[in-house]
Structure 1
Amino acid sequence: MKPIEKPKDTELLFDRHHLIQLLWPLVVEQLLSVLVGMVDVMMVAYVGEAAVSGVALVDSVNYLVIQVLFALTAGGTVVCAQSIGSGDYKLAGKSGGQLLFMTTSVMLFISAAFLLQGNTLLSVIFGTVERDVMEDAVKYLAYTSASFPFLAVYYSAAAIFRAAGNTKLSMLASLGMNLLNIIGNAVCIFGFRMGVVGVALPTLLARMIAAAFMVYGLTHFGKEIRIETLLQMKPDRVIIGKILSIGIPNSVESGLFNFGKILLQSLVSTLGTASIAAYAVASNLATYLYLPGNALGAGMITIVGQCYGANKPDQARYYARKLLYLNYAFLLVICAVMIAGRTVWIGFYNLSSQSAALAEGLLLSHSVAMVIWPVAFLLPYYFRAVGKAAFTMKVAVFAMAVFRVGLAYLFVGVWHKNVLWVWYAMFADWLFRIIVYGYGFMKDDTFSQT
């Protein structure tokens, strides 16, 4: 990778202060999502095994719905950021309105389908499960599916604010929503003993309040982007087409990526209980290694998108390199802590000695291999921000199918290697992405085509 050199022929769009103000709320928001998720799981466990199982079943479905929502809002972020970069704030506002209309419409449809046919849906997907588990799952699905339209408003508004560089407001909304959810769970579960409804109801109420807050923010706090009238939400085929040109490839990439993870989980399950436990624990701890990159990727969408809209190719590449180096700085600290304390971190999970030894090996190899992760997974945000989401989708699908899944089944299913080789196949996937994305970044001619 070339050393970072500031573009000399123009004023930078983002100074150091601006970058810090943009990025730190994204890091905090990512950390909050992981920590709150852990607390939520602990509270659900108090209700009982049936509730835990029912919530887990529904969450696996909800996660796919939320991934679709994420993909659509990512497309909206890119389109809004490009409009801001070009100085067309009217188009930016209209693009924000189109994003709100589109995501809310999609989530209303999905919500209605789940509310009307939730029982049938769960039976088709999961087959026959114990009666009390299914009853809790149906109750939980009813409340969470009712929250989808509000979640669409929240995520769409957050995407709009991020496109404008205002990440602090979405962080505050996320903090408030998660705190309300935790407090509500505590009151409903421990105080009123409402069972699985005590888990689901606070989620619905917290998302409703967060959506209302974000709508208020869009109508009162927006500078570059403000939703002032319902006319901004009148369907516009051109703008919706631009959003979908990024959102659809993102959805396909995300969906197939998660399907690949399910296949690998199925493969690991053939290796015995010790390997299953070790893989689960190491995967859980590895999520902390991804936090900075995921946050910086969200920031790159805004930064590079605005540079693209302003037709400043040198600055787009300059900031992409800068964020890559920043990701490496974060990883140097996090991976060192993870490696040095791996015995301690894994000890919290109370594994058997065999599982703990496997988990330590997995965590060590993963932490070392993170040296190649940023180029493989942060650079794709650059390509999405300049309108090349289809390119990242093709690369990701090929890498997942051939290397991560294909090699893993070869190593474990044919050559009978242990669980570590599942991640060696994953590292091969990363190496392939580095070669393709690195070369694509160096030879990128996007701006010469605009």
Structure 2
Amino acid sequence: MKKGTNNLRNMSLFALTWPIFIEIFLHMLMGNADTLMLSQYSDNSVAAVGVANQIVSLLIVMFGFVATGTAILVAQYLGADRDLDAGGVSVVSLFANLVFGAVLSLAILVFTTPILKMMDLPPELMDEASSYLKIVGGFGFVQALIMTAGAILRSHGFTRDAMYITIGMNILNVIGNYFFIFGPFGFPVLGVDGVAISTTVSRLIGFVVIIIVLVKRAPDALPFRKLTEPLRHLKDLLKIGIPSAGEHLSYNGSQMLITYFITMLGTEALTTRVYATNIMMFIFLFAVAISQGTQIMIGHMIGAGKINEAYHRCLKSLKIAIVISLGMAVLGYLFSEPLLGIFTDNPTIIAVGSTLIMLTIILEPGRSFNLVVINSLRAAGDVKFPVYMGILSMWGVSVTLAYFLGITLGLGLVGVWIAFCADEWLRGIIMLFRWRSKVWVDKTFVRSAS
């Protein structure tokens, strides 16, 4: 396991981050491969899978809380040279997410029809949506295992391996989709069922490969026979994971309510929001990758007792993320019209969308504060404060201002985007003050063995 620890200690932020960037980029590009390829098969199939994937996405958010705790604790223990504890956390987290994933997967299998009826799904889409959800959701525990194993692999510094595995999974998924949708060489055309099988099998293979790579790279990473104090490890995982899950659920809930506000503005506004958001995702992708790489580095530094190094690492990463996000936002605005033109030729959507991307120049630096500093606070063990402030700002600022500016004052989407800016900057500045206060120094879960 020392190999993994030493490997990370000698890595720069860039070396650690660029594979994470590629991996997230591929997720964004390939995440909707099922939908894109099904569009050549049936519009109804696309709609059915789209609705089912909303439920699957919620499952993934739920699985993420164990993976978040795993990434932070493993990094801190490795930094503290407490390799056996790092392995103990890894084993416990895999079992915990396996059990949690199995329970949720079983619930999906049992309640598939009632869940889809709650979403007011048209009767003609019910059969295909139900079939897809039963296969993908029923094997959701595989995704839970992948997220946990991937977090362990990255915390050991092997971000490049995680990237290669993601590439392989995406390739397998696309090949499987091709065979099941288009039926070359006499292959059976299974449509939605085939796409669901392809997705599930590619994930299962991906998980097996992650475990093989992890064991080969760091032989003591999963000490099943030397497991000690599993209840303590589980307790620490939940201390980090549950607040993080609460923050993600709060964010998704606030965004759903804001989307409801936007539906009051009409279909055109809703469509504009979707197109503008798709472009924005690629703008803040850099900050997301930097924040995840920084979280791993700071986790190791905190575990090693290098508080001053951790403090300055966050601030350096923040400056880099702000500069890159600002630059990408300016580029996005300069090319906003041709970019939006890829999606639509509606002049109103292009005009309003360009204005939203212009506001992104203000929004993205504020988002960088939250991504980098909040991940740094989590890596240091300060997990509750960002959650409380996040929930307060999301609902007290973002939701409230979105309705007041967008609906009450009639500013429409521009008002909603101003609300987003206010929320990100308020939280970002508060988080920076929190980091500078160094309150987080006494909140670490792990102390160096030395």
Q: Which residue in the other structure is 2:224 paired with?
A: 229
Matched, 1:126 2:126: no
CA distance in 2, matches of 1:263, 1:44: 29
Q: Which residue in the other structure is 1:421 paired with?
A: 415
State the shift of 1:148 in Å.
Answer: 1.5
CA distance in 2, matches of 1:57, 1:156: 26
Matched, 1:19 2:26: no
CA distance in 2, matches of 1:114, 1:306: 37
CA distance in 1, matches of 2:256, 2:225: 41
CA distance in 2, matches of 1:344, 1:409: 30
1:181–1:203: 8 Å Cα contact kept in structure 2?
Answer: yes
CA distance in 2, matches of 1:145, 1:60: 11
**Alpha-carbon displacement from aligned partner over 1:321-345 (angstroms, at most 9, x marks no partner):** 2211221343244223212211110
- Which of the numbers 240, 245, 248 marks the counterpart of 1:251? 245
- Which of the numbers 35, 42, 62 marks the counterpart of 1:41? 35
- TM-score, normalised by the number of residues in structure 1: 0.92
- Which of the numbers 164, 167, 170 marks the counterpart of 2:162? 170
State the shift of 1:320 in Å.
Answer: 0.8
1:289–1:335: 8 Å Cα contact kept in structure 2?
Answer: yes
1:219–1:228: 8 Å Cα contact kept in structure 2?
Answer: no
SS at match of 1:446: helix
1:160 counterpart letter in structure 2: I
State the shift of 1:445 in Å.
Answer: 2.8
Corresponding residue pairs, total? 435
SS at match of 1:46: coil
SS at match of 1:416: coil
Matched, 1:183 2:182: no
CA distance in 1, matches of 2:225, 2:60: 25
1:47–1:196: 8 Å Cα contact kept in structure 2?
Answer: no
- Which of the numbers 201, 204, 217 marks the counterpart of 1:205? 201
Q: Which residue in the other structure is 1:107 paired with?
A: 101
Matched, 1:445 2:439: yes
Q: Which residue in the other structure is 2:278 paired with?
A: 284
State the shift of 1:20 in Å.
Answer: 3.0
1:311 counterpart letter in structure 2: G
Q: Which residue in the other structure is 1:142 paired with?
A: 134
SS at match of 1:64: helix
1:147 counterpart letter in structure 2: F
Where do 1:77-92 residues align within 5 Å? 77-92=71-86
1:229 counterpart letter in structure 2: F
Q: Which residue in the other structure is 2:447 paired with?
A: none
SS at match of 1:187: helix
CA distance in 2, matches of 1:356, 1:257: 27
2:49–2:132: 8 Å Cα contact kept in structure 1?
Answer: yes
Point out the more displaced range, 235-244 or 90-99: 235-244
1:390 counterpart letter in structure 2: K
Shift in alpha-carbon separation, 1:423–1:118, aligned structure 2, 3 A? same
CA distance in 1, matches of 2:364, 2:261: 23
State the shift of 1:420 in Å.
Answer: 0.9
1:146–1:204: 8 Å Cα contact kept in structure 2?
Answer: no
- TM-score, normalised by the number of residues in structure 2: 0.92
2:178 counterpart letter in structure 1: A
1:421 counterpart letter in structure 2: G
CA distance in 2, matches of 1:98, 1:39: 33
Matched, 1:306 2:336: no
Q: Which residue in the other structure is 1:60 paired with?
A: 54
Shift in alpha-carbon separation, 1:51–1:406, aligned structure 2, 3 A? same
Shift in alpha-carbon separation, 1:366–1:275, aligned structure 2, 3 A? same
Matched, 1:193 2:185: no
SS at match of 2:146: helix
**Alpha-carbon displacement from aligned partner over 1:168-205 (angstroms, at most 9, x marks no partner):** 11111111111111111111112243221122110011
**Alpha-carbon displacement from aligned partner over 1:73-92 (angstroms, at most 9, x marks no partner):** 01111111111111110111
2:141 counterpart letter in structure 1: P
CA distance in 1, matches of 2:104, 2:370: 33
Q: Which residue in the other structure is 1:347 paired with?
A: 341
2:381–2:443: 8 Å Cα contact kept in structure 1?
Answer: no
**Alpha-carbon displacement from aligned partner over 1:88-115 (angstroms, at most 9, x marks no partner):** 1011111100110111110011111111
State the shift of 1:38 in Å.
Answer: 4.5
**Alpha-carbon displacement from aligned partner over 1:25-63 (angstroms, at most 9, x marks no partner):** 101101111111244432122232221221111111111
Point out the more displaced range, 183-192 or 264-273: 183-192
CA distance in 1, matches of 2:155, 2:443: 23
1:316 counterpart letter in structure 2: A
1:181 counterpart letter in structure 2: N
**Alpha-carbon displacement from aligned partner over 1:383-410 (angstroms, at most 9, x marks no partner):** 1111111111001100100111011111
Shift in alpha-carbon separation, 1:409–1:175, aligned structure 2, 3 A? same
Q: Which residue in the other structure is 2:359 paired with?
A: 365
Shift in alpha-carbon separation, 1:92–1:207, aligned structure 2, 3 A? same
Q: Which residue in the other structure is 2:25 paired with?
A: 31
**Alpha-carbon displacement from aligned partner over 1:103-129 (angstroms, at most 9, x marks no partner):** 111001111111122122222x313x3
RMSD: 2.0
1:77–1:163: 8 Å Cα contact kept in structure 2?
Answer: yes
2:382–2:443: 8 Å Cα contact kept in structure 1?
Answer: no
Shift in alpha-carbon separation, 1:330–1:138, aligned structure 2, 3 A? same
Q: What fraction of aligned residue pairs are identical, expressed as a percent?
A: 24
State the shift of 1:448 in Å.
Answer: 5.0
CA distance in 2, matches of 1:179, 1:146: 22
SS at match of 2:151: helix
Gapped regions of structure 1 (runs ≥ 5)? 1-12
Q: Which residue in the other structure is 2:269 paired with?
A: 275
SS at match of 2:432: helix
Matched, 1:117 2:111: yes
CA distance in 2, matches of 1:253, 1:361: 29
